[in-house]
Amino acid sequence: MTLAALQEEIRVAAARAAPLRLRGGGSKDFYGNEPRGELLDVRRYAGIVDYEPSELVLTARGGTALAEVEQALAEHGQCLPFEPPHFGAATLGGCIAAGLSGPRRAAAGALRDFVLGVKLIDGRGRLLEFGGRVMKNVAGYDVSRLVAGSLGTLGFIAEASVKVLPRPSAERTLAFEMAEAPALDAMNRWAGEPLPVSASAWHEGTLYVRLSGSAAAVQAAAPRLGGSELADTVAFWRSLREQTHAFFSGEAPLWRIAVPSATAPLELGGAQLLEWNGGLRWLRSSLSAQEIRAAAERAGGHATLFRARDKSAGAFTPLDPVRLRLHRELKRAFDPAGILNPGRMYAQF
């Protein structure tokens, strides 16, 4: 499939004002509000375009399988530092459009921090390039990072360049029997000390802390923290990243509550699993969206209805009027006909 053909498809859809549903591997179909429109399968536009390990940059087409990208990086001892979830046959473009980061986010940064540039086909079928393959670039507004997490509402990510990093040479996970409040305390305290903590999680009375870095650093830090060593460190963090951990199975709606990390335990009932030093609180609960969003807001955060059969409450925390207006204006700038993934992020655009 050529870019020109994709541009033409979008142009035709725009002329007909016919909504398009951009889709990579379909691994994140569940995420956001219900997808609408005619399917535009972008997996056909795939392949790694450029990868030079010494540049710490990989460039690939949007339809490239995320697994293929990670495989290529692994062969050179590198990785995507934000540990994005696959949730199935993910593509790189879909991964960036979803904007989800995994366990290492609190230590390494979010997905958008690693996006260096994109080639985008906007809602008029125009091919646009923003950012590039270099580490520092302040020419023009940072559109490539705006596109990260935009859920396909601004354009099709035809190609993206991401910053990659060397894989840590050593990794260990320590487990501690601890209640939620002291666990939150420990996570936030350790995050403020010069320790090689690369991930943290708490669930059902156990705090898990992963140390990553040079062998020397990990070895020096482990005895300072104490705890007991977890046998299979890789499998455990993968089960959180890919949500194969038992906590994530079952029918109760899954909420993704984001709060400032040091926020005290949220008294919401239901099962919880904490990540990112407490900044991310997964909740299984059938409480109303209003109740959950109000609690998140009181703590200075927001709540996303992540997986649920009924998303009539809207997947994302509603925007205030000023921000909503900006969203609509930006949508108009990128997609005046409003055909790209309409309603996927917010019903209003």
Stretch that binds another protein, among 31-39, 82-90, 202-210, 327-335 (CB under 8 A): 327-335
Rounded Cα–Cα distance for residues 6 and 92 (Å): 17
Six-digit token string for 111? 């997905």
Q: How far is the CB of 2 from another protein (least distance, A)?
A: 19
Residue 311, interface with another protein (CB under 8 A)?
A: no
Query: Is there a contact between 29 and 48 (Cβ–Cβ < 8 Å)?
Result: no
Is 174 exposed, middle or buried (CB count within 10 Å of its CB: 0-12, 13-18, 19+)? Answer: buried
Residue 265, interface with another protein (CB under 8 A)?
A: no
Residue 143, interface with another protein (CB under 8 A)?
A: yes
Residue 339, interface with another protein (CB under 8 A)?
A: no
Six-digit token string for 183? 């666990």
Q: How far is the CB of 119 from another protein (least distance, A)?
A: 11
Phi then psi for 76, rounded to 5 degrees? -110, 20
Q: How far is the CB of 177 from another protein (least distance, A)?
A: 22
**Element spanning 326, H or E:** helix 321-334
Give the count of beta carbons closer than 10 Å to the beta carbon of residue 13. 20
Site for another protein in 72-131 (CB under 8 A): 77-78, 99, 101, 105-106, 109-110, 112-113, 122, 126-130
Site for another protein in 1-40 (CB under 8 A): none
Phi then psi for 160, rounded to 5 degrees? -140, 145
Q: How far is the CB of 317 from another protein (least distance, A)?
A: 4
Q: Is 6 helix (H, G, I), strand (E, B) or coil?
A: helix
Residue nearer to another protein on the CB measure, 149 or 338: 149
Stretch that binds another protein, among 38-46, 183-191, 198-206, 238-246 (CB under 8 A): 183-191
Site for another protein in 200-259 (CB under 8 A): 213-217, 219-221, 258-259
Rounded Cα–Cα distance for residues 99 and 245 (Å): 21
Determine the size of the site formed for another protein (CB under 8 A). 89
